[in-house]
Amino acid sequence: MAGTPEASITGLIRVQPEDFQVEEVLGFEPDGQGEHLWLWLEKRSANTHWLAGQLARWAGVAPMAVGYAGMKDRHAVTGQWFSIHLPLRQAPPEPLAVEGVVERARSWHSRKLKRGSHRGNRFVITLRDIQGDLPAAQRRLADIAAGGVPNFFGSQRFGHGGGNVDQARDWLAATRPARLPPARRGLLLSAARSWLFNQVLAERVARGDWNQAVPGDCFQLDGRGSWFGPEADISADIQTRVENGLIHATGPLWGKDEPATALAVQALEQAVADAEPVLSQGLARFGLRQERRALRLLPQELAWSVDEGGRTLQLSFQLPRGAFATCVLAAFCTVHDAAAGGGPGDRLSTDD
């Protein structure tokens, strides 16, 4: 990713599904009531959308009756909640029988599980065939645990070869953009916003102030969506909170009107938007509001271990919703994705 430090090592990811494990952190428990059956499922080598379809067939309901909080990778072992709307509170009598899927728990809840309702994800990632300066990589991991990494959107947000951004440009450049299915429209708008955010963050990384408080910044509470500012004068309190990882400077998720920042920070963000007029003006035309995203990502409970031969490294950490495990990996390792052929620069498709 642009702006990240040079990797110390290279390694293979997803040699087998167990090398990439994700556990959804919901942040609350089903209330045991209501007419939505919630299932905690462990799946191996199955994508989320496909499994939702299998659940709809098992329960004899329409696909829209099935809910889930986030997409999880196919080439992995993942645990996540699904909900099924059953107005009569009658679960199918036969057990769920889907290859590669194990039911670990079930409960009832008063509401459907909606996208983005989870708090985050816990990862256990195994890198194999490690080559390079392993001690330097471990020193870099210690720095990441203390100071975090740039909170880029992962390349999977932009599609193969950045195709989603190119399609967003073509679509938004039209005088009257074609009507698209809601899911496709959301995908292209999200790719455009994410691209602009990444350009701002790359500039902040190049300037060396992505993890600092700059006059004119807006700030976000760590792990939260709320933000405040702009702060024209950086107080000692704000500086201390940034240094302690309690708050982070933010970048724009572009929309109508000016970004919420001030001074040189706003000038930088506006310059990035002006360099991409089709994307920025198109997002404004669709009425999206200016929103903010933290520039810094602090992995929680980051830990790692290396086998005796120094060829395998296992990494565990937790990230908030909307963050990408690729950001953590890219900060110390060049990943070769065995599930996608293992070519240089391949990126694994993690949940966001």
Q: How many CB atoms lie within 10 A of CB 177?
A: 16
Copy the structure tokens of residue 192. 């455009």
Integer CA distances (angstroms), 36 to 64, 89, 116, 127, in order: 12, 7, 17, 39
For 244-269, what is the HEC assignment? CCCEEEEEEECCCCCCCCCHHHHHHH
Exposure string for 192-219, b = 16+ CB within 10 A, e = fewer: bbbbbbbbbbbbbbeeeebbbbbebbbb
Residue in 19, 31, 73, 307 annotated catalytic: 73
Contact 332, 142 (CB under 8 A): no
- Asked about 73 being catalytic, the answer comes back as yes
What is the secondary structure of 276-293 as a DSSP string? SHHHHHHHHHTTPPPEEE
Residue 317 per-residue DSSP state: E
Copy the structure tokens of residue 169. 């440009």
- Those residues whose C-beta lies under 8 Å from the C-beta of residue 55, and which sit 6 or more positions away, are 39, 66, 82, 84, 96
What are the residue numbers of the active site? Answer: 73
